[in-house]
Chain A
């Protein structure tokens, strides 16, 4: 038996996961590349929508396999279709059908990548699961802490804020120490065929990148046109289905009243889209559910604590106070009103570079 630690790298065929694999080989790990065949629309190879599915297109598989061949490590394509469909795609569609804006990436990290895939990797004898995420895991006093990635533009701790101690104990994010530019440089140094490949955007399972069309194809019954109203209930126009709108949205409302209007709320009970002027938009507080503290418990279980909070992956951090409410819920009060507190997205808490955890936004209050 070899003393080498075995690590499974979740390969996507992109530059990040490929460089992750190359770095770990260089660092002396026994590396196994696994690509997850995820769910995609369409009937399979030959179907146009299938071919457009960028996360596991034949080209992506060929790239991932080619990288593993060059690194001299085994490569396996495993089928995660059912898991991904249930945990991520159905969750996404179900969320929109219920009038929220779900974040499927968090769900995928929690239940698929660091869920099923990690379980399988462990079952197959691996010590760790590595991904190309830009985040860092630090061990302190027997706890695994999550830190932002070194590259502020690429930091992905937001999408990893759902992970638990058991998951983080087995996670490796080697790219967390580098910037994207450095990753590409390393990819070139390793001679990886994917070093110049474009970053993937948007949601991997939506073939054309257009989530509205995706909803039209998959939950047509949930897309019921209704009224657009102002905060006092005055009729302003018609909307095409609440799932097509998001809080704070300005474009595409199709009503002209001489001043810019914003989406204030999706009133699911009345199937009404509530709009208003910019100054009506801000909310100072939210209630979060499914709150996960990275360290396993709230750093301040009884009282209020000060954090920097982010309400979307791309949002800027704002100062806030978090008050645990019990039952994995918390009240988050921001120092300044925020325009786009969106139920279904995550609110994530930071103390400087450390990601303390986060929760799912239940409602702005």
Chain B
């Protein structure tokens, strides 16, 4: 086994930036107070909480009161969908989403459908994973209260036209949520410019810790709490605030967004090299997703004659971390719902391979990865 240890699965998760870890550490031991306590211990924690909230609000161009801390992207999606749909139940019961959303959205919508009698329209996407805003507009009925479309897709990296969809939603007085979990480290998060009502983020996708996320909820957007208890997060999410992790997500988002241009330029160049290399060295390989409307470090393919899990295994043995698509569904027998939504036949979709770059990757990593992919595919096709 030749262990090069090249991590190319940044869409699954990223390492915590040492600067983020440094910012977090004092809040475990030194400033451990409960932000709700009146004493100085509590006040130190509260200061960190307020500063973190302000820092994130500044990046999102929103009011700090519009930031809700959650346990991560999935909880943010759950709170957004369930909280808004149930809050507007008097007004209507129709939710619009797409076929390529993350399961945190799809399964929440399905739950609302099954247990609460909502109607859900899942708008299809094209072969490149793009949603047509006109399709969304056409799906709106007088009973529609909410639209949820992801900012960028985890499996194929496609960036969705959420600004246009948000405009349509606004015009029709429908709440618009976007799952921005994959976008957080790479795309503009200005909620005024995006014109979204609800936006989900998870820290571990942009070099923050796991287990912490944010839901931006526009002031005035109806939202029922899903977790009740104390008055934390302005009664929208009860539970003692996780100060070290809140400090962590704020620090991580600030670093990611302030270094965004350099990072994206670097990743984009590496990504193009990676895609070019794989398409050139692996006969029959096809890029999935959109070639240009795509997350900067994201590459994904279908490779005929090879099986995703086996490529991942072969690459792991060669010291390279890759994935077939979503880490959340790894090991499942079902072919990717995203590729199915994009019209890929199950047979071809089984050959899905995702290689997602991050800050620490270099050109040498890309060259090694291309070589390793070509090598593994050749061997697996061997027989």
Query: Which A residues fall within an 8 A CB radius of B?
Result: 1-2, 4, 6, 30, 32, 34, 37, 44, 74, 76-79, 81, 119-120, 123-125
Contact = CB atoms under 8 A, between A and B. Distances in A.
19 contacts: A2-B2, A6-B1, A32-B317, A44-B334, A74-B316, A76-B309, A76-B316, A78-B310, A78-B313, A79-B307, A79-B333, A120-B310, A120-B380, A123-B382, A124-B313, A124-B317, A124-B376, A125-B317, A125-B318
Interface of B: 1-2, 307, 309-310, 313-314, 316-318, 331, 333-334, 376, 379-380, 382-383
A32 B318 CA distance: 13
Secondary structure type dominating chain A contacts? mixed
A120 to B, nearest CB: 6
Contacts of B318: 125
Contacts of B1: 2, 4, 6, 30, 125
Contacts of A2: 1-2
Contacts of A44: 333-334
Contact of B383 (A32, A77, A119, A124): A119
Contacts of B314: 123-125
Which of A1, A32, A34, A125 has its CB near the most chain B CB atoms (within 10 A)?
Answer: A125
Contacts of B383: 119, 123
A84 B269 CA distance: 43
Contacts of B2: 1-2
Contacts of A78: 309-310, 313
Contacts of A6: 1, 317
Nearest to A2: B1
B122 to A, nearest CB: 21
B176 to A, nearest CB: 33
Given A2-B2, A30-B1, A78-B313, 20 more contacts: A4-B1, A6-B1, A34-B313, A37-B333, A44-B334, A76-B309, A76-B316, A77-B309, A78-B309, A78-B310, A79-B309, A79-B333, A119-B382, A120-B380, A123-B310, A123-B379, A124-B376, A124-B379, A125-B317, A125-B379
Contacts of A30: 1
Contacts of A4: 1
A9 to B, nearest CB: 14
Nearest to A78: B309
Contacts of A81: 333
A1 B3 CA distance: 8
Contacts of A124: 310, 313-314, 317, 376, 379-380
Contacts of B310: 78, 120, 123-124
Contacts of B379: 123-125
A1 B317 CA distance: 12
A77 B382 contact: no
Contacts of B376: 124
